[in-house]
Structure 1
Amino acid sequence: MPTRPAALAAAVGCLIMATACGGGGTSSATQTTSPSQSSASPTAVVSPPVAPPSHVDNGTTLRSPAAGKSAVVEIPHPTGSGYLKATLVGVTKGSWKDIPGHDPDNPDNDKLTPYYVTFEFTNVGGTGIRRGRVNAATQLQVVSRHEGLMLATSDKLMSDKQMEHFGPCTRPAGDSEIKIEPGQTLRECRAFATENYEPPLAAVILPTLDINAANINVTWMLRKQ
């Protein structure tokens, strides 16, 4: 997988103080799609194996408006694939004022914009899938399609513990090694940062982290082209 530009990574790092601060507080996020207000932890555990679905959407592009649209994504694994029904809940434009520990006097605040990407995942067959793998699969692509990758992840902006209480982009409590088993549903939010001249183009799920397998990515377009 290509890496995001070094300059952007450095700028994001400059915006956050070295020591973590307390939880969220009042959000100034501006909604650009229609994210739901609730956040669910895995539910409805199903013990028996569940047969894989007969159809998957790997390689599919869902056109704008994409919020609320779903696709079945096969996540390959050496011991057997897992299958997720992924629904884009919404993409929300935020503010650095939302971020605990940001430096309000840093001039780079005017160059970057945070965005919060929320998906709901339901395991619809196959094997259990680690929560950390699902989280890593979520990407945000900008209009220039520059490297087609995420720009800044939530763990660069805040700790996982802070994200559990962060209003604009709440993550459910739990370890990244916990699996989403067949029949379970999990809602995840990731925080990204984009340069102002490159607004988001699409939310993307990467079934594999192999950069040579981009043709099986599933893409939710955020604007018409």
Structure 2
Amino acid sequence: TYPRTWDTVDRKNDAVVCVPHTPDPVLFGIRGESPAAVREARSYVRSEEPACEQVYTTNQGTDAHLLPGAIGELREGRSYLVRGAVAGLPATGPGGHVSFLLEDGGVEVRCMAYEPTRGFRDVVRALVPGDRVAVAGSYKGGSLNLEKLGVSHLAALVRIRPPVCPACARRMTSAGTAKGYKCRVCGGRSREPDVERWERRIRPGWYEVPPVARRHLSRPLVRGVPAWEEDLLQSGRP
């Protein structure tokens, strides 16, 4: 019944999401867009006989917990959507957790993508300094724990190297500050370096953690992005 229901199973990570993992009187819970959608999904589930069941309205999957925030003004224990520029290359730490610094107005905050977010960490690893992003997550212990990430602008990823000598096909070396390049083999010279542009592995847009790592209140992208979140993301364009 996806996308009329969501976060029932995580097929990519081979996990059932709608069943509690702790001793619990709840057998399962199905989240969906309408009573009809969740009733249809429920009809496909085989389980022990429940004592009771009910369809009710909830704020799960709505981003009701997110507040627009600014780096340097975040309060412990609250959840925010914050925009800024990536200030350093992401680093993978012990346990596979990935972090990077986000900067805005000369103030920085550390953003964390923890190991349970699985493939979402590859999106974070693909960021480079200068990328403009908006990040959503809870602020705890001085870090934003990421739930989703929006990219509004990708910085150019280039590598600058000495040029190859056209005469002997050897790579030149620097001839000194502001003096260009010189071939040590034949003495050939060049003023311009080789500029290699690398294709980025991500594109502008929104990225989210997998269902197995999503908080109940977090709005999955299949439900669309609220207008205020998209507006905040786009206002961060250079």
Question: Is TM > 0.5 for Structure 1 vs Structure 2?
Answer: no
Q: Which has the higher contact order (CA 8 A, sep 6+)?
A: 1
| Structure label with greater radius of gyration | 2
What TM-score, normalized to structure 2?
0.28
